[in-house]
């Protein structure tokens, strides 16, 4: 998985968390403002009594007398003075619907949303990282590059084209030897690449798994661990390796080399020598013995 995609996913998750936080904060602020704007109990009582008639015979009435007066008026049988104006309606009591959600609900929803977003971001990053076909790395079909450019680089440097992401080497395969390769059962799955002039070799030594480097002087692969040697197309030439280098199916589509690293194809048996390429100079690894 490209690290930039992981960062992008993390950024999106972070933005989501910030949005949830801001949303929850805004809702809470609205609710608090609604509470602040609402009249207090004292203000409501005052508003209620402002329009009430004063009981007859009383220049000034106590609170209890006012309450009694209101109750009698509501029942319609009170002996009170005729009001000059109809009483103003009492302010409607505040409820949760008017205020939106409560603080507790905002907090709970924020926590749930945060948890869900975090899980989603983490899950997406994991899937993207573990899904090889998305990454174009080892375990998937890889577009290595243009055949012409790869072959030119190999000829210039006198060494295989190495692709670390695919853990593989690309070397030219002599197309005139493809007919001989057809007789080797182990090559049946890689013939398409040979006919296109390409062999894709797994970097791992088939003896005990060391990465096999290229020896520029001998023009062979020579393993530093126990001295196994393989020629340019990965056919075993010496050392304890039980077969030639393992490889991948390769093809050339529209001039581009495609290597399928989903399947590692076991190398050819000892004694296979379709190209006849012998050592072209001193070996990089000391003298080895055939096993």
CB 199 within 8 A of CB 190: yes
> What residues make contact with ligand FES under the rule CB under 6 A?
205, 207-210, 223, 225-228, 239-241
Q: How far apart are CA 76 and CA 67, in angstroms?
A: 14
- Residue closer to ligand FES (CB basis): 106 or 205: 205
**What is the nearest approach in angstroms of ligand FES to the Cβ of residue 236?**
10
Q: Least distance (Å) from ligand FES to the CB of residue 239? A: 5
At closest approach, how far in Å is the CB of 224 from ligand FES? 8
Compare residues 69 and 228 and give the one whose CB is closer to ligand FES.
228
- CA distances in angstroms from 40 to 70, 75, 94, 97, 99, listed in the order given: 20, 27, 11, 18, 15
CB of 264 to ligand FES, least distance (A): 16
Non-local CB neighbours of 269 within 8 Å, separated by 6+ positions:
186, 243, 244
Considering the complex, state which of residue 210 and residue 256 has its C-beta at the smaller distance from ligand FES.
210
In whole angstroms, what is the distance from residue 147 CA to residue 253 CA? 9
Q: Tell me the C-alpha distance between 168 and 229, whole Å.
A: 16
Q: Which is nearer to ligand FES, 178 or 201 (CB)?
A: 201
Work out how close the CB of 241 gets to ligand FES at its nearest, in angstroms, rounded to a whole number: 6
Which C-beta is closer to ligand FES: that of 193 or that of 268? 268
């Amino acid at each position: 998985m490209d690290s930039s995609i992981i960062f992008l996913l993390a950024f999106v998750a972070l933005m989501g968390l910030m949005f949830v936080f801001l949303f929850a904060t805004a809702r809470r602020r609205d609710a608090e403002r609604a509470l602040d704007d609402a009249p207090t109990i004292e203000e409501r009582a005052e508003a209620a009594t402002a329009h009430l008639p004063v009981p007859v015979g009383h220049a000034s009435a106590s609170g209890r007398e006012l309450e009694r007066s209101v109750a009698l008026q509501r029942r319609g049988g009170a002996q009170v003075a005729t009001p000059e104006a109809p009483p103003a309606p009492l302010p409607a009591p505040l409820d949760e619907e008017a205020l939106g959600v409560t603080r507790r609900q905002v907090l709970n929803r924020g926590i749930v949303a945060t948890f869900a977003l975090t899980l989603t971001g983490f899950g997406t990053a994991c899937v993207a990282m573990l899904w090889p076909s998305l990454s174009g790395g080892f375990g998937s079909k890889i577009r290595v590059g243009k055949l012409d450019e790869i072959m030119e680089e190999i000829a210039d440097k006198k060494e295989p084209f190495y692709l670390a992401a695919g853990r593989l080497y690309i070397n030219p395969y002599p197309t005139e030897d493809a007919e001989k390769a057809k007789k080797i059962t182990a090559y049946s799955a890689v013939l398409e690449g040979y006919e296109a002039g390409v062999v894709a070799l797994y970097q791992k030594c088939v003896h005990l798994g060391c990465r096999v480097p290229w020896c520029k002087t001998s023009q062979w692969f020579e393993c530093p661990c126990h001295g196994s040697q393989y020629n340019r197309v990965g056919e075993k030439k010496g050392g304890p390796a039980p077969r030639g280098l393992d490889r991948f199916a390769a093809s050339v589509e529209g001039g581009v080399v495609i290597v399928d690293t989903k399947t590692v194809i076991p190398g050819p048996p000892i004694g296979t020598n379709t190209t006849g390429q012998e050592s072209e100079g001193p070996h990089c690894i000391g003298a080895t013995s055939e096993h």
